[in-house]
Structures are given as C-alpha cells and as structure tokens.
C-alpha cells in the first residue's frame, strides 16, 4: 500500500512554531512596557521646570492630554510660545486653575 505520507515541515515552519515570546526577549518583538515621564535632574534639589508640554501638564494635573486640550479650547489654560518651541504651559497657571476651581467646604 502506498498511502499518502505526511510531508515533514519545512525548516522555516519548524522555526516559526518553535519560537515563543519568552525566548525572543523584550528587545525582539515583545510589546514594550509603558514608561512614565522622563526623570530629569535639576540643579537645585526640589526645583521643577516652570514650563511643561501638554503631556507634562496632563501628568501634573492628573488628567488626560485630551482634557488638557479641552481646557485650552475653553480658554481656561493658555499656552506659552517661546522661541518657536512647541506649546508649553506655565505650571503657575495650572496651580491658579486648581485654586480657582476648588469647592468651598465652609
């Protein structure tokens, strides 16, 4: 009897089926872990930059970047344009926004 025998898998198919995500490691195909904002060092301990970008402001306020854009569109926050840089936001304006929107619990 000459039955149809199964063909062996090609070397490429063998490699494809033999590799798992854990074998590839983080640098070869696994999704990257989300990173937080970059940590910077400042000359004076405890100091912070006065101007931040949209993502930095969103992180500072604890809201999404989309919400920052909504606050800007509503005129509650104004960007600062400095040396043709991208839009930067003054943290003092953010602090003022927080202070003026606090509810009185008196």
Rounded Cα distance between 39 and 43, Å, is 13
Residue 24 has pLDDT above 80, yes or no: no
Tokens 């070869």, residue located: 28
Whole-model pTM: value is 0.53
Contacts of 87 (CB under 8 A, 6+ apart): 53, 54, 79, 80, 81
Of 56, 51, 59, give the one whose Cα is nearest residue 92: 51
Taking only the tens place, the pLDDT of each residue in 88-106 is: 999 999 999 999 988 765 5
Torsion of Cα atoms, 65 then 68 then 73 then 78, to 10°: -130
């Amino acid at each position: 009897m000459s039955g149809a025998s199964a063909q062996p898998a090609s070397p490429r198919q063998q490699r494809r089926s033999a590799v798992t995500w854990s074998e590839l490691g983080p640098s070869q195909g696994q999704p990257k872990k989300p990173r937080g904002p970059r940590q910077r060092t400042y000359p004076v301990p405890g100091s912070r930059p006065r101007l931040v970008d949209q993502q930095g402001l969103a992180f500072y306020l604890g809201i999404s970047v989309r919400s920052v854009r909504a606050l800007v569109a509503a005129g509650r926050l104004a960007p600062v344009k400095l040396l043709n840089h991208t839009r930067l936001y003054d943290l003092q304006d953010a602090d003022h926004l927080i202070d003026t929107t606090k509810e009185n619990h008196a």
